[in-house]
Structure 1
Amino acid sequence: MAKLSRDDLWSLEEYAQERPAFRARVLAHKKTRQVALGQHARLYFEDALTIRYQIQEMLRIERVFEPAGIAEELEAYNPLIPDGQNWKATFMLEYEDPAERALRLGELIGIEDRVWMQVAGCDRVYAIADEDLDRETADKTSSVHFLRFELAPSMISALNAGAALGAGIDHPAYPAELVLEDAVRESLLADLVAPTLN
């Protein structure tokens, strides 16, 4: 999947005009790119469209218009776009009450390494977590993690042939497992490049 460049972005003035329609498009797109794992954990799968939106919003909020600043945002966010053989997701632990959140994050150390995806008939693929920086301390995990799921060519072929897709967590303090809805499965399938036959 191609990375974004300056040519893919609107200027601040252009974005001010395009933002309402673009935001509505992105929010509709995101509905099929999130997976609730139990009541308090959620995967938000990124792609070129969601990352373009994030970059445009950051440029807007920070009033960045100089080439060097735009290049910095592209460099920071481009690694979150899947590469055709993987999925990339923001993993959120969502507890509204601050006291409960602090308690649970202490119990959930290591959870980011126990999140998995599974193509029916294939082994589970566990997340590679937080490649940019460590988001965990000895006392607690973070409420936000960045995950990458690397798929074997046989898994991509199976998905293209109609195999179901599951997701889950096998952390002892937070077990979860489900089969993804068809709309979510189809959206994630669009991130993958079918293996070529030699």
Structure 2
Amino acid sequence: MQKLTRADLLSLEQYAEQRPAMRARVLEHKKNRHIQLGPHATLAFEDRLTVQYQIQEMLRIERVFEARGIQDELDAYNPLIPDGQNLKATFMIEYDDEAERRQALAKLIGVEDRVWLRVAGHEPVYAIADEDMERANDDKTSAVHFARFEFTPAMIGALHAGADLAAGIDHPNMTVSIDPLPAATRAALAADLVG
């Protein structure tokens, strides 16, 4: 997928006019791009449309209209767009209760590296997490991580041929496996891969 440029973005005025339609389109698009991994973890897979929406929303919220500010947002979000050989996702650990969340994050150090996807007949692909910055320390992991999953040509070919896709986590304090993922999710994610 091509990275976004300023030419791909709407002005603040244009976006204000088109926002309701774009928001509805993106929400519908995202339905098959989320994987709930048990009660407390979610993978939200990004692509060019979801990233464009995030950038447009940030520009709107921050009232950014100058070239430098727009480029800063593009530079921050473009790395979330998959390149055809990988999938990219936001991995979120979610607890409503703050005390419970704090305890869980202390027990889940390293969980971001134990999230996996697996094409049927192939080895799991583990997340390469937080390449932009460290989000964990010796005391706890973060509630939000950015993950990249790199696929081999054989895995991509198998997905395009209809192979099932599974997802899970194999951390000692959070073990989840969904096998297979719903067909609509598999198809949406396979569409991000070229091969």
2:186 is matched with which residue? 185
2:105 is matched with which residue? 105
1:16 is matched with which residue? 16
**Structure 1 residue 166 displacement after superposition:** 0.2
- Tell me, in whole angstroms, the C-alpha distance in 1 between the residues paired with 2:5 and 2:192: 19
Q: 1:126-184 CA distances to partner (integer Å, 9 max, x unpaired)?
A: 00000000000111000000000000000000001110000000001000000210000
1:27 is matched with which residue? 27
Unaligned segments of structure 1, at least 5 residues: none
Could you tell me the TM-score, scaled by structure 1's length? 0.97
1:155 is matched with which residue? 155
Could you tell me the TM-score, scaled by structure 2's length? 0.99
2:74 is matched with which residue? 74
Q: 1:47-96 CA distances to partner (integer Å, 9 max, x unpaired)?
A: 00000000000000000000111111101100000000000000000000
Matches within 5 A, 1:120-131: 120-131=120-131
2:7 is matched with which residue? 7
User: What SS does structure 1 have at the residue aligned with 2:185?
Assistant: helix
- Tell me, in whole angstroms, the C-alpha distance in 1 between the residues paired with 2:99 and 2:66: 42
2:40 is matched with which residue? 40
- Tell me, in whole angstroms, the C-alpha distance in 2 between the residues paired with 1:189 and 1:122: 15
2:94 is matched with which residue? 94
User: What SS does structure 1 have at the residue aligned with 2:43?
Assistant: strand
- Tell me, in whole angstroms, the C-alpha distance in 1 between the residues paired with 2:122 and 2:186: 16
**Aligned partner letter, 1:183:** A
- Tell me, in whole angstroms, the C-alpha distance in 2 between the residues paired with 1:69 and 1:106: 36
Give identity over the alignment, percent: 65
- Tell me, in whole angstroms, the C-alpha distance in 2 between the residues paired with 1:9 and 1:61: 15
**Aligned partner letter, 1:99:** A
How many pairs are equivalent? 194
**Aligned partner letter, 1:148:** R
**Structure 1 residue 189 displacement after superposition:** 0.8
